[in-house]
Amino acid sequence: MKTLSPRNIIPLVAMIFAALFLSACAVNPVSGERDFVLISEDQEIAMGAEGAQSVAATIGEVDDPALQQYVQTLGERLAVDSERPDLPWTFRVLDDPAPNAFAFPGGYIFITRGLMGLMGNEAELVSVLGHEIGHVTARHSVVMMSRAQAAQIGLGIGSMVSPELAQFSEALAGGLGLLFLSYSRDAERQADDLGFGYALDHGYDVREMVNVFAALQRAGDLAGNSPLPDWQSSHPEPAERIQRIENQLAALDQPLGQARIGSDEYMGHIDGMVYGVNPRQGYFDDQRFNHPEMAFRIDFPRDWKTQNMAQAVLAGSPDQDALIQLDLAQGSPEEAANQFFAQEGLTNSDRSQRSINGLEARMGRFQARTQNGEVSGRAAFISHGGQTFRLVAYTDSSLIRRHDPAFEATLTSFARLTDRQALNRQPDRISIERANQSMTLDTFNAQRPSVIDLNQLALINQLPDASARIAAGTSVKRIVSQQ
């Protein structure tokens, strides 16, 4: 067998990539040009469906069938007239306070209630849905994933034929996810253009698209404690996009005087929607996490970064070298503990049955070997309210002495929530009310106050500041407390 040297590796890889390129090129439905695609449409849909299911489980969807149907109907109207009408188009509103929207391959589009609360009319919503539809119709994510796969194939070939390259392949492959994580500026521009066109073709006032980006530019403080990135961390600078849209508007050769805005219908659908963090799903009071519905509390280590998600509560150490996770387990504490400690590759010690703040529990230590080394930690399984709560805390085995006291303190802090004020905590909600006469926002707020400050109130009403005037009859968003 002939031995390959580094000198003839490059021609070989080039030939393989040429073959891949010729066999994997497909016509882009939007541009008509050929794209390098290694993923079939069936695979694209399957990946999107799996990702969508994971997001719905992790983040959760807004429990409002009328709102969900409203967004689904608007999105479908645009999508069925797009370049890829036959995809299983699905549009969902996520129960998350961060203003954002994103698309998964295969036609799965998500928009957060944080962004719904920031927008003011149907035309704005349609422009956002159209932008995300554009990412799917132009196959932006599919092209990115295909490039990543091709790069990984190339690294694999290098490792097989050259031992000198093998030591670098893993490190290089690890960076590919970051390299192809975000859409390129050209992809974002194309999605903006497509969204603009879809909205225009359906009779919407595309001038409202500018308002979305202008509001998002000011909306950093609305992200809250969200597992999703805020808009500006996952999208390019809005100022450039606003300028491009304004240029398109200036060149537009059709009147927009009768174009649809849909303020009243839109406001009607978000009236009563939760604003900000929903405490009924659990909330942090400093490092204490309270869950009114499940009636428990737990204290996480000071200065650790915490995150409340639909199916778990997480806390990470400041140096990102230790993690504590709280979720639900199947069965009794004893059954859940036995199943956990019996996992292949995991060793355990110091297992015990005990009471934690009057609650039945099983606890133990564990060690496990992973691809990145050995980890050590503690696990607790606690009975409360007819359910078993699982607490798992772990770190690299070399760091267990440093983090073990924090692990112990957190696991043994789990207790019933008995404070009446915490148990009765309710979410703030959007209330849509009409101004009975022309007045400034601060005058309106003096008459019908909100529980948020004037700067945020101006932001969600898309006004420059609290001194801006509101015309008589205008629908105004208030944020009201149910306490």
Residue 151 has pLDDT above 60, yes or no: no
Q: Write the pLDDT tens digit of every residue in 416-426.
A: 999 999 999 99
Which residues, 6 or more positions from 199, have their beta carbon under 8 angstroms from its beta carbon? 78, 123, 126, 127, 130, 206, 209
Q: Mean of the pLDDT values across residues 464-473?
A: 96
| Stronger pLDDT, 67 or 152, i.e. the higher one | 67
Q: Which amino acid would we find at residue 344? A: E
pLDDT given for residue 338 in this prediction = 96
Q: Mean of the pLDDT values across residues 185-201?
A: 90
Q: Point out which residues pair with 345 in neighbouring strands.
A: none
Q: Mean of the pLDDT values across residues 100-118?
A: 92
The CA angle 26-27-31, to the nearest 5 degrees, is 140
Residue pair 302/354 in contact (Cβ under 8 Å)? The answer is: no
Lowest mean pLDDT among 45-49, 283-287, 462-466: 45-49
Length of the chain: 483
> CA 74 to CA 81: how far, in whole Å?
12
The CA angle 432-438-440, to the nearest 5 degrees, is 80
> Which tokens belong to 59?
């983040």
| Stronger pLDDT, 96 or 1, i.e. the higher one | 96
Q: Mean of the pLDDT values across residues 410-418?
A: 98
What are the angstrom distances between the C-alpha of 258 and each of 60, 130, 193, 201? Answer: 38, 20, 21, 13
The pLDDT-based confidence of 38 (bands split at 50, 70, 90) is low
Residue 3 has pLDDT above 80, yes or no: no
| Stronger pLDDT, 11 or 213, i.e. the higher one | 213
Q: Write the pLDDT tens digit of every residue in 52-75.
A: 888 888 888 999 999 999 999 999
> CA 159 to CA 47: how far, in whole Å?
28
Q: Mean of the pLDDT values across residues 265-273?
A: 98
Q: Mean of the pLDDT values across residues 183-193?
A: 83
Q: Mean of the pLDDT values across residues 446-455?
A: 96
CATH assignment of 279-423, given 3.40.1000.10, 3.10.180.10, 3.40.50.300, 3.30.70.580? 3.40.1000.10
b/e burial code for range 357-396 (CB count within 10 A of at least 16 → b): eebbbbbbbbbbeeeeeebbbbbbbbbbeeebbbbbbbbb
pLDDT given for residue 353 in this prediction = 96
Segments making up each domain of the chain, as ranges: 1-275, 279-423, 427-480
Cα–Cα nearest to 90, from 57, 136, 121, 124: 136
